[in-house]
Amino acid sequence: MRLSAFFYVLKQGVKNIFRHKLFSLASVATMITCIFLFGTIYAMVTNVNHMVMTAEESVGITVFFNEGLSEKEIQKIGEEIQAIDAVSEIHFVSAQEAWEDYKSRYFAENENLSEGFEEDNPLANSANYQVMLSDVSQQAKVTEQIGNIIGVRRVNSSQDLANTLTGVNSLLMYMSIAVIGLLLVVSVFLISNTISMGVAVRSEEIAIMKLMGAKNSFVRAPFLIEGMLLGAVGAIVPLAVLYLLYGKVIAIVLHRYSILSNLLQFLPVNQVFRSLAPLSLIMGIFVGFAGSFISIRRHLKV
Amino acid sequence: MIQLENVCKEYSAGMPAVRNINLHIKEGEFVFIVGNSGVGKTTLFRLLLKEIEPTSGKIVIAGQELSKIKRRKLPDFRKNIGVVFQDFRLLKEYNVYENIAFAQRVVQTPTRTIKREVPRALSMVGLADKYKSFPDQLSGGEQQRVAIARALINKPQILIADEPTGNLDPQNSWDIMQLLEEVNANNGTTIIVVTHNREIVDRMKKRVIHMDHGEIINDVDEGGYFHEA
Ligand SMILES: Nc1ncnc2c1ncn2[C@@H]1O[C@H](COP(=O)(O)OP(=O)(O)OP(=O)(O)O)[C@@H](O)[C@H]1O
Ligand SMILES: [Mg+2]
């Protein structure tokens, strides 16, 4: 296409939006609804996902050793654990540290109660490794592997929590794929319906263009540009609204469920929008394009 | 240039709008088609444009058999044919200037050329001062002249005009006919004009094809409006 033809087509696309304000408005409104829904679901899914991941990271395995192992032997066990694939991090907790931790948890209010134990650490045998996994679903396997290492007395893991988290994670993924796919189909359908009405009004105009020798691509281009512009506007508006609402909604949730505040780890708004904004914009433009393309096809057969 | 063999068109079965048309029009000819309302003149034009397909028969234009032109090649075929529609068919959303320019946009004429040629075409049909008006702000005759300017601007090989002077007064009608004759003489454009204007047909002394009930009942060189068979 020549440059002058391109600019002409671009101009016509923009003009068409204002010529047919009602249809443009209807299309944009449909798009706004869809993208708003998409954005809301996306924000929810990413946040829940984030919470699950945070929780996952705190699910560790505790490894205790046989009595009387030397420091060297313990270190060797650590190296063997480290060598397992799914292990992301390993951290040694000495008996002293274990006791300190216990104290701070159970005698927090009255330090002096613990003084009687000071001479004789009741957790003398509780030196351990805290093992973090890169993939929580591997927990059972890793637990077994560690249990087989010579010198390991006991391996503690919370298999139930690990299973639940893994389940929630994949459920979330399937659900969000399903919902987003459905939304995409519904919005293409709605948009093409709305655009169809606008195109039908112009079917006579299209017929004239075709009888004068216009190529399909030339007739179609302004409609596609119109669709993509409407799609972009239909994405930007709900994005702006979501951006403004995001912090407010989180504040309300945190206020209401303040008990759960250390479980409810929300993502900062910018981090959500770094992926949500381009995704929505691409989706809006794609849906506008596809909607226009589908609805104009019938009218080109002159 | 234009060849029709046994062409029939039935919009609905058993009711032919056009039948048994055998016609040959040579390159550079100027032809009138006359006949009462409803005898199939517009149908014939729609067939020539490949806007509709004949029920039977063969149409060849500029060496191309119409039924064999691929959908993708249709624009190139139509670019060679200028059309003045009976109902003008101007684009309502575009002003006069854009309506005429549109014929050039379609064939991707550079904007520079469009800016030069559209005003020329406008003054040719006497509408230089109305270029900013929209079709519904024009009289019937003015719309008709816009349609004529649009049909001519690309210097088509063939011009088909369905009652191009139906809404014009005798003087304007005559001026338009002079214009068409000039185009015919200077560019060698093949011109086919449907008209009910007896005076013009009699005065122009061109080939006249007389249609009745979908058939050609008379075809005379240098004929008049009514010619007893
Ligand atoms: N789209 C259509 N569907 C069905 N029948 C049609 C259609 N267009 C035209 N006809 C019929 O075909 C016949 C020829 O119509 P056409 O428009 O070709 O006549 P015409 O010679 O151009 O008449 P006029 O001088 O009034 O313009 C008429 O009987 C008309 O009713
Ligand atoms: Mg007619």
* Residue written as token pair 């719309």: B143
The answer to whether residue B15 sits within a structural domain is: yes
Question: Which of B127, B154, B181 is the C-terminal boundary of a domain?
Answer: B154
Shared domain check, B75 and B167: yes
Question: Which of B154, B176, B193 is the C-terminal boundary of a domain?
Answer: B154
Report the mean per-residue pLDDT for chain B: 92
Report the mean per-residue pLDDT for chain A: 82
> Is A2 part of the contact surface with chain B (CB cutoff 8 Å)?
yes
CATH number of B60's domain:
3.40.50.300
Distance of CA B31 to the CA centre of its chain: 11
Return residues 58-87 of B near A (CB < 8 Å).
74-79, 81, 83
Greater pLDDT, B170 or A55: B170
Shared domain check, B160 and B64: yes
Shared domain check, B143 and B180: no
Greater pLDDT, A94 or A279: A279
Q: Which residues form the domain of B164?
A: 1-80+156-229
The answer to whether residue B146 sits within a structural domain is: yes
Total domains in chain B come to 2
Report how far ligand 2's centroid is from the alpha carbon of A225 (Å). Answer: 37
CB contact under 8 A, A214 and B106: yes
Q: Is the pLDDT of residue B191 over 90?
A: yes
Task: Calculate the CA dihedral of residues A15, A20, A22, A25 and round it to 10 degrees.
Answer: -30
Report how far ligand 1's centroid is from the alpha carbon of B41 (Å). Answer: 8
Band of pLDDT at residue B157, cut at 50, 70 and 90: very high
- Measured by CA distance, the residue closest to atom 14 of ligand 1 is B40
Q: Is the pLDDT of residue B201 over 60?
A: yes
Mutate to test the pocket of ligand 1, among B11, B197, B216 (most ligand atoms within 8 A of CB): B11
- Mind listing the pLDDT tens digit for each residue in B10-30? 999 989 999 999 999 999 999
- Mind listing the pLDDT tens digit for each residue in A217-259? 888 998 899 889 989 999 999 999 999 999 999 888 888 887 7
Shared domain check, B160 and B220: yes
- Mind listing the pLDDT tens digit for each residue in A32-51? 988 898 898 888 888 887 88
What is the per-residue pLDDT for A64? Answer: 86
Which residue from A minimizes the CA distance to B83?
A212
Q: Measured between alpha carbons, how far is A28 from A191 in angstroms, rounded to an integer?
A: 8
Structure tokens at A37: 């829904």
The answer to whether residue B86 sits within a structural domain is: no
What is the per-residue pLDDT for A109? Answer: 57
Domains of chain A: 3-55+164-300 (no CATH), 60-157 (3.30.70.3040)
- Measured by CA distance, the residue closest to atom 26 of ligand 1 is B37
- Measured by CA distance, the residue closest to atom 29 of ligand 1 is B38
Q: Measured between alpha carbons, how far is B101 from B207 in angstroms, rounded to an integer?
A: 32
Shared domain check, B111 and B17: no
SS3 (DSSP) at B121: helix
The answer to whether residue B69 sits within a structural domain is: yes
Asked if B39 contacts B50 with a C-beta cutoff of 8 angstroms, the reply is no
What is the per-residue pLDDT for B128? Answer: 93
Question: Which of B154, B181, B199 is the C-terminal boundary of a domain?
Answer: B154
Identity of the residue in B79, B89, B110 whose CB atom sits nearest the CB atom of A213: B79
Give the burial class of A154: count Cβ atoms within 10 A of its Cβ; 0-12 exposed, 13-18 middle, 19 or more buried.
exposed
Q: Measured between alpha carbons, how far is A211 from B53 in angstroms, rounded to an integer?
A: 14
Maximum mean pLDDT: which of A118-132, A152-166, A187-201, B184-198: B184-198
Q: Is the pLDDT of residue B217 over 50?
A: yes
* Proximal ligand: closest to the CA of B213: 1
Band of pLDDT at residue B229, cut at 50, 70 and 90: very low
What is the enclosing helix (H) or strand (E) of A291?
A: helix A269-297
Strand partners, B24: B3
The answer to whether residue B85 sits within a structural domain is: no
Distance from CA of B78 to the nearest CA of A (A): 5
Structure tokens at A246: 């995001």
Question: B65 phi and psi, to 5 degrees?
Answer: -80, 125
Q: Is the pLDDT of residue B38 over 90?
A: yes
Shared domain check, B73 and B4: yes
- Measured by CA distance, the residue closest to atom 18 of ligand 1 is B40
Q: Is the pLDDT of residue A165 over 80?
A: no
> Is B105 part of the contact surface with chain A (CB cutoff 8 Å)?
yes
B211-to-A14, B13, B19, B32 alpha-carbon distances in Å = 47, 21, 10, 11
Shared domain check, B222 and B160: yes
Q: Measured between alpha carbons, how far is B113 from B103 in angstroms, rounded to an integer?
A: 12
The answer to whether residue B182 sits within a structural domain is: yes
Mean pLDDT of the B204-214 span = 94
What is the per-residue pLDDT for B227? Answer: 53
Q: Is the pLDDT of residue B130 over 70?
A: yes
Which residues, other chains included, contact B205 with Cβ-Cβ below 8 Å and sequence gap of 6+? B222, B223
Q: Which of B189, B197, B177, B175 is nearest to B126 (CA)?
A: B175
A190-to-A25, A122, A255, A300 alpha-carbon distances in Å = 13, 69, 38, 21
Asked if A215 contacts B75 with a C-beta cutoff of 8 angstroms, the reply is yes
> Is A173 part of the contact surface with chain B (CB cutoff 8 Å)?
no
Shared domain check, B148 and B168: no
- Mind listing the pLDDT tens digit for each residue in A114-142? 665 655 666 667 788 888 887 777 888 88
Band of pLDDT at residue A144, cut at 50, 70 and 90: confident
Which residues, other chains included, contact A233 with Cβ-Cβ below 8 Å and sequence gap of 6+? A28, A31, A284
Nearest atom of ligand 1 to the alpha carbon of B12? 4
Q: Measured between alpha carbons, how far is B178 from B172 in angstroms, rounded to an integer?
A: 10
What is the per-residue pLDDT for A8? Answer: 84
